Amino acid sequence: MAARRAPILVRVTKPPKRMTPNTALAVAATAVTAIAVGVVVVVTPSGGGDAPTAASTGLSISTVVGDSGNPANSATDSGSGTGAATSATSGSSSTDGSATSSGGSASGSAAQSPASSSAPAGHPTTKPTSLPTPPSTSTGAHTPGTGLDDPRKKETAMELVSSAENSSLDWRAQYKYIEDIHDGRGYTGGIIGFCSGTGDMLEVVQRYTALEPGNVLAKYLNALKADNGSATHNGLDPNFKKDWATAAADPKFQQAQNDERDAEYFTPAVSQAKADGLGALGQFIYYDAMVMHGPGSDPLSFGGIRAAALRKAKAPSQGGDEGTYLNAFLDARIVAMKADPSHQDTSRVDTEQRVFVKANNFDLDTPLHWSVYGDSYTIS
């Protein structure tokens, strides 16, 4: 299993209405502290799978979602788009051509316990409340080129997110990943960390059951409904994790995960980014924020982050500069991250996304070089 270090907690923040009561109170209290005092008490947390068959690499959104006409949904999840993707720290290739980082292969090191008080190696235990915004070197208006509805660009975005979520570019190796990372959201599993306590893991299994009635996970539907909104595993233990890993070998279960990702996170993010006049980089930045913070309009969700950015800068669709607006969005996102004790490490913004903004790479053209949580990556 790929090393799942503390930053994998980033995915699981959903809109507060879908959090457990204790989690919501804790996050809200931290946010109030950040706003009223201007200082966030930093709590640094510490701290999967076989490659799919060729039959699993396509999306069929119309089967479940009924949205096959949307270009972003109809893009295939093929591994052939971006060419060779390599990690500067490893260079070992996976079966689909994407590389894994050090400790990021499917058979890599054991997961680090989230209960540990130590930070990941090389990571500071505290960070400043806010970071200075790099000046934009953008000149004039940028006309967006090919967006993430292009299969090659979409593959690049999947690998970028996976580097932060899984410490690996091989996002397809994560279909069978599942564990309780003790963040109050029950089990976390799959390609972007669907959670039993926030509803999207239930939706994945519902999609899978629509595609394959009587599958190995269908018997858990009632338990997943009951556990939604809590950290409990009632009705899931002791075999749910084993059955999830078994289902991961089924192309229809892989499709169900792909479909849930696209319907709930990828497509809404790309659509909003296009409406705001953003190119492929901005579309990826929106998608990564949607994966981490969840959709919604509260201050700690994607909609609230975007609203805060728009109070500071105009989007390109409003005549604003693309680099200036994206830096304002990333500033607002860091504030939201710092308000959640599980999101204190902001390197996926600082040493990944800001690097691309500073380079004016608004079309997310390769080659790309970045680092996340101390590991370096390259997509050629």
Tokens of 368: 């790309």
Identity of the amino acid at 221? L
Q: Which are the catalytic amino acids?
A: 165, 183
**CA 325/CA 278 separation, integer angstroms:** 10
Q: How many CB atoms lie within 10 A of CB 245?
A: 19
Q: Which residue has the tokens 């939201």?
A: 336
SS3 state at 85: strand
Max Cα separation, the chain?
A: 58
**CA 166/CA 120 separation, integer angstroms:** 14
The gap from C-alpha 297 to its chain's centroid, in whole angstroms, comes to 18
SS3 state at 277: coil
User: Which residues neighbour 277 within 8 Å (Cβ) at sequence distance 6 or greater?
Assistant: 144, 315, 316, 317, 318, 322
**CA 49/CA 2 separation, integer angstroms:** 8
Q: What are phi and psi of 173, to 5 degrees?
A: -75, -5
SS3 state at 112: coil
**CA 331/CA 133 separation, integer angstroms:** 7
The gap from C-alpha 63 to its chain's centroid, in whole angstroms, comes to 24
